[in-house]
Every structure is written in structure tokens, then in C-alpha cells.
């Protein structure tokens, strides 16, 4: 058992953990609704299952989807809608893309190391859900509420950008006025 743990792809697992910590932090910041957490846990389960499913089953599923013209049309509409979402919510798209890339990296590392699919599935699912919960806990312990919080020295000026500036009071205190 100890030799199995030593051979784990720890760097990619830490990258996956930090990615999901970020997701948990952002989700808690948006709002602490139980339905959000359930949806995220279900989405993580589906994502982890998709990357651990055998390729023959995945190709069979896509063959089934594209057999009929109606299904092909539905997939085309879904693709157009997803393209619209990518353009409209680019920041969300980038976050999802990083999550998918980190999950793929861990899966490839497990596959290269020769681990069984079930073990890889359980470890990836554990690190994903643990990172999500740890991000929410860290936000509760160390996070600041965004606008109007007096407990934080940093305020986000525009929630759509990532520009962070010091408050005017701290700047004036810093220069001695």
C-alpha cells in the first residue's frame, strides 16, 4: 500500500486540488445555496466518470448520438448554444477549461503509472470533492465579503474584471496623511 501511495502523481493531484479549492472559494463567494453544492458535486461526479470511462463506451455513445438526423440537429443546436455561452461568459469558460485540463492531466498520469481505473476514479473524485469543500472552508475562515466589507483592505472595483486596488484610506495611511 505504501508503494502505491509513493507512486501517485502528486504534482498533478495538487494541481487538481488547488483548482477545486479555487472553485469552492468562488462558489461560496457567489452564494451558499445547497442546490449549488449539489449541482457541483453531481457535475464533478459526471466529469470524473467521463474521464475514467473506457473509450469504447464513449465512442459507442457518440455513434448513438449521431445516428439520426434529429439527434444530429439537436447536437448542432447544443454546440451553437455552448459557443454563445463561451463568448458571453468567457471567464466561466476559462475556469471550466482549467478544471477539465487538470482532471485530464491527473487521469493521464494515473494511466501512465499503470493504476486501475477504479482506483484512479476514487482518488480523482476524492481530491476533487475535498478541494471543493476545502475552498469553501477557507473562504469562511479567511475570505472577505466583496463590496462594502470593512474587515478587508482589498476591494474589487469591478466584479467583471480582476483588477484589485487598495482602498483610498489605506493609501492615505500608507503615505502618512
So where are the chain's domains?
Answer: 2-143, 144-177
Asked if residue 128 has pLDDT above 90, the reply is yes
Tens digits of residue pLDDT in 65-123: 778 788 778 888 888 988 888 888 888 888 888 999 999 999 989 888 888 888 889 99
pLDDT band at 172 (very low <50, low <70, confident <90, very high): low
Q: Are 11 and 121 in contact (CB under 8 A)?
A: no
Q: What is the pLDDT of residue 99?
A: 92
Q: Terminus-to-terminus CA distance in the chain, angstroms?
A: 62
In the chain, the largest separation of any two C-alpha atoms, in whole Å, equals: 72
**Dist. CA 166–CA 159, nearest whole Å:** 15
Q: What is the pLDDT of residue 154?
A: 41
Helix pair 34-52, 90-113: axis angle to 10 deg: 40
Q: What is the pLDDT of residue 48?
A: 87
Helix pair 90-113, 117-142: axis angle to 10 deg: 140
Residue that wins the pLDDT comparison between 128 and 82: 128
Amino acid at each position: 500500500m505504501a508503494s502505491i501511495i509513493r507512486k501517485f502523481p502528486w504534482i498533478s493531484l495538487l494541481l487538481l486540488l488547488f483548482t477545486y479549492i479555487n472553485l469552492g472559494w468562488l462558489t461560496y463567494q457567489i452564494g451558499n445555496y445547497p442546490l449549488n453544492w449539489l449541482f457541483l458535486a453531481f457535475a464533478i461526479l459526471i466529469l470524473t466518470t467521463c474521464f475514467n470511462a473506457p473509450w469504447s463506451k464513449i465512442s459507442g455513445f457518440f455513434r448513438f448520438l449521431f445516428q439520426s438526423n434529429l439527434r444530429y440537429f439537436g447536437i448542432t443546436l447544443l454546440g451553437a448554444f455552448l459557443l454563445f455561452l463561451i463568448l458571453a461568459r468567457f471567464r466561466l469558460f476559462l475556469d471550466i477549461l482549467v478544471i477539465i485540463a487538470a482532471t485530464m492531466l491527473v487521469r493521464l498520469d494515473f494511466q501512465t503509472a499503470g493504476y486501475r481505473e477504479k482506483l484512479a476514479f476514487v482518488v480523482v473524485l476524492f481530491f476533487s470533492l475535498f478541494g471543493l469543500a476545502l475552498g469553501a472552508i477557507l473562504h469562511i475562515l479567511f475570505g472577505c465579503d466583496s463590496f462594502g466589507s470593512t474587515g478587508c483592505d482589498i476591494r474589487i472595483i469591478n466584479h467583471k474584471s480582476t483588477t484589485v486596488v487598495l482602498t483610498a484610506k489605506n493609501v492615505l495611511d500608507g503615505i502618512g496623511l
